[in-house]
Amino acid sequence: MSEGVRKASLELMKHLRDGFRIGLGSGSTMATFVSVLGEYVKERGLEVEVFPTSMQIGMVAEREGLKVLSTPQELDLAVDGADQVDRRLNLIKGGGGALLKEKVNLNASKLRFIIAGEEKLVDVLNADVPVEVHPFSRNYVLKELTRLGYRPRLRLLKKGYPYITENGNLIFDTEMGEIENPREVEERVKLISGVMEVGIFTMRIDGLYLTGDEGYRFIEGSRAL
């Protein structure tokens, strides 16, 4: 467990209130956050409901004794990680394949916070963008992404089988170069028939916790560069 992630998770508890409905992202950072959340809730006797975006985090939450539900309508707080974040707090997410549910949780929440390693911060987004695609449309989407000048690559498992999301879809990890206008690219790709979700996140983020081995620094959303 990274000490920086643990400390950032503890600091995030100041936003927590009894009765909160909390959206949980996926990945190792979120597993640490959920462990801290579980301890905090038990120590203070709080009642909260959590909405995990993957079976992985759902199982961690169950182990911590948290009340796990699905299909959120409105959340009080959402916490997630990121594969890459720019100085305006736009994100690339979906390395773990849970981008569709992660975007639902973040958009459904009143408060949104991201925990990510210092190395994830860049001036301009440039990592491969996961694009979640319905299997029926895979060839059409491949053609359309290529027509837009991108380089999509079907995500495969180690033995060569296609990676299947928990929603039953495929993922194209798509090289797009430097993304100067993330919102424009997000909207353009989302308009392709058969694209279920795109791993560019441009909604308002309330704050970013950038973590290191021993600690973290906080960037408030309103102060993003």
Phi, psi at residue 63, to the nearest 5°?
Answer: -60, -35
Q: Are 134 and 194 in contact (CB under 8 A)?
A: yes
CA dihedral in degrees (26, 3, 11, 63; nearest 10)? 50
The residues pairing with 49 across neighbouring beta strands, listed in sequence order, are 21, 67
Q: Encoding tokens for residue 45?
A: 């006797």
Element (H, E) at 47: none
For residue 102, indicate whether it is catalytic.
Answer: yes
The number of residues making up the chain comes to 225
Say which of 3, 74, 102, 214 is annotated catalytic: 102
Which residues lie below 8 Å from residue 205, measured CB to CB, with a gap of 6+? 89, 91, 112, 113, 114, 221, 224
d(CA 24, CA 130): 19
Annotated catalytic residues are 102
